[in-house]
Chains A and B, each alone.
Chain A
Amino acid sequence: MDSVESTMQSRQMPVVTGRTMHYKPLNLVRWVVWGLTVLLMAVLPLIFNGGFALTLMSQMGITIIFALSYNMLLGQTGMLSFGHAVYSGLGAFVAVHLLNKVGAGELWFPVSMLPLVGGLAGAFFGVLFGYVTTKKSGTTFAMITMGIGEMVFASSLMFPDFFGGEGGVSTNRMVGEPFLGITFGPARQVYYLIAAWCLVSMIAMYAWTQTPLGRIANAVRDNPERAEFVGYNTQRVRYLVLILSAFFAGIAGSLSCINFEIVSAENVSAVRSGGVLLAVFIGGAGVFFGPVIGAVVFVLFAVALSDLTKAWLLYLGLFFVVMVMFVPGGIASLLMMQVPLLARRQLGKMLPSYAVGAAAGLVLLSAIILTVELVYKVQVDSANGTAMSLLGIGFDAGTVAPWIVAAVLWAVGLVAWRAAGARVRAAWDKLHGEGKA
Chain B
Amino acid sequence: MTDTTGIKAAAALELTDVRKKFGQTEIIRGVTLSIGKGERHALIGPNGAGKSTTFNLVSGRFAPTSGSVRLNGREIGGLEPFVINRMGLSRSFQITNIFHRLSVFENLRCAVLWALGYRYSFWHRLSALRDAKERADEVLELIGMHHRRDTQAGLLTYAEQRALEIGITIAGGADVILLDEPTAGMSRSESDHAVELIRKVTAGKTLVMVEHDMSVVFGLADRISVLVYGEVIATGTPEAIRNDRKVKEAYLGTTLEEAAEGAH
Contact of A210 among B62, B127, B151 (CB under 8 A): B127
Using a CB-CB cutoff of 8 Å, which residues 217-265 of chain A contact chain B? Answer: 218-219, 221-223, 225-234, 236-237, 240, 244
Set of chain A residues within 8 Å of B93, measured between Cβ atoms:
226
Q: Is B106 an interface residue (CB 8 A)?
A: yes
Partner of A230, one of B114, B119, B126, B150: B114
B63 within 8 Å of A (CB atoms):
yes
At the interface with chain B, which of A19-27, A97-105, A116-124?
Answer: A19-27
- Given contacts A223-B100, A231-B172, whether A215 and B152 have CB atoms under 8 Å apart is no
- Whether the pair A216, B101 counts as a contact (CB closer than 8 A) is no
Indicate the member of A4, A219, A231 with the most B CB atoms within 10 Å: A231
**Once the chains bind, are B101 and A218 in contact (CB under 8 Å)?**
yes
| Chain B nearest Cβ from A244, distance in angstroms | 7
CB-based nearest B residue for A286: B101
Residues of chain A within 8 A (CB-CB) of B221 are none
Residue of B nearest to A240 (CB): B120
Closest B residue to A228 by beta carbon equals: B81
Extra inter-chain contacts (6) besides given A211-B126, A219-B110, CB under 8 Å: A1-B63, A207-B125, A212-B121, A215-B106, A226-B93, A232-B82
Interface string of B58-95 (1 = CB under 8 A from A): 01111100000000000000111110011000110100
Q: How many residues of A contact B (CB 8 A)?
A: 37
B81 contacts A216, C-beta separation under 8 Å = no
Q: List 22 A-B contacts (CB under 8 A).
A: A1-B63, A3-B60, A23-B103, A23-B152, A24-B150, A211-B122, A212-B120, A212-B122, A212-B129, A213-B120, A213-B121, A222-B99, A222-B100, A222-B101, A223-B98, A227-B99, A228-B81, A229-B81, A229-B97, A230-B168, A231-B115, A234-B82
B13 contact set on A, CB distance < 8 A: none
Most A Cβ at <10 Å: residue of B81, B91, B98: B81
Whether B113 is near chain A, meaning CB under 8 Å from some CB there, is yes
- A residues with CB within 8 A of B: 1, 3-4, 7, 19-20, 22-24, 207-208, 210-216, 218-219, 221-223, 225-234, 236-237, 240, 244
Is B82 a contact of A228 with CB atoms below 8 Å?
Answer: yes
B-chain residues with CB within 8 Å of residue A222 when the two chains form the complex: 99-102
CB distance from A185 to the nearest CB of B (A): 37
- A30 to chain B minimum Cβ distance, whole angstroms, is 13
Residues of A within 8 A of B98 (CB): 223, 226
Residue of A nearest to B85 (CB): A231
Q: How far is the CB of A144 from chain B (nearest CB, A)?
A: 21
Q: Which B residues touch A24, using CB under 8 A?
A: 150
Instruction: List residues of chain A with CB within 8 A of the CB of B119.
Output: 212
Please give me the 8 A-B residue pairs with the lowest Cβ-Cβ distance, nearest first.
A231-B114, A23-B103, A222-B99, A212-B118, A213-B122, A228-B81, A231-B85, A219-B110
Within 8 Å by CB of A23, from B106, B113, B126, lies B106
Contact call A1/B78, Cβ cutoff below 8 A: yes
Please give the residue numbers on chain B whose beta carbons come within 8 Å of chain A beta carbons, in ascending order: 59-63, 78-82, 85-86, 90-91, 93, 97-103, 106, 109-111, 113-115, 118-127, 129, 150-152, 168, 171-172
CB distance from A390 to the nearest CB of B (A): 44
Asked whether, in the complex, the Cβ of A1 is within 8 Å of the Cβ of B120, the reply is no
Tell me the smallest distance from the CB of B49 to a CB of chain A, in Å: 20
Known: A219-B102, A226-B97, A240-B120. A1 touches B126 (CB 8 A): no
CB-defined contacts of B82 to chain A, threshold 8 Å: 228-229, 231-234
Residues of A within 8 A of B63 (CB): 1, 3
Contact among A7, A207, A240 for B61, CB-based, below 8 A: A7
Known A210-B125, A230-B85, A230-B168; judge A22-B102 contact (CB<8 A).
Answer: yes
Contact of A229 with B121 in the complex, beta carbons under 8 Å: no
CA distance A236 to B168 in the complex (A): 21
A229-B122 in contact (CB<8A) = no
A1, B83: Cα distance in complex, Å: 12
**Please, which residues of chain B bring their CB within 8 A of the CB of A231?**
82, 85-86, 114-115, 172
Return chain B residues, CB-CB under 8 Å to A236. 120
Partner of B114, one of A226, A232, A234, A240: A232
Is the pair A216, B120 in contact by a Cβ cutoff of 8 Å?
yes
- Which of B63, B109, B114, B125 is packed against the most chain A CB atoms within 10 Å? B114
Docked Cα-Cα span, A236 to B79, in Å, equals 16
Contacts of B172 in A (CB 8 A): 230-231
Q: A24-B150, A215-B109, A228-B80 are in contact. Are A237 and B120 (CB under 8 A)?
A: yes
Contacts known (A229-B91, A231-B82, A231-B86); A212 close to B168, Cβ less than 8 A: no
Which residues on the A side are within 8 Å of B126 (C-beta)?
A: 210-212, 214-215
Q: Nearest chain B CB to A31's CB is how many angstroms away?
A: 15
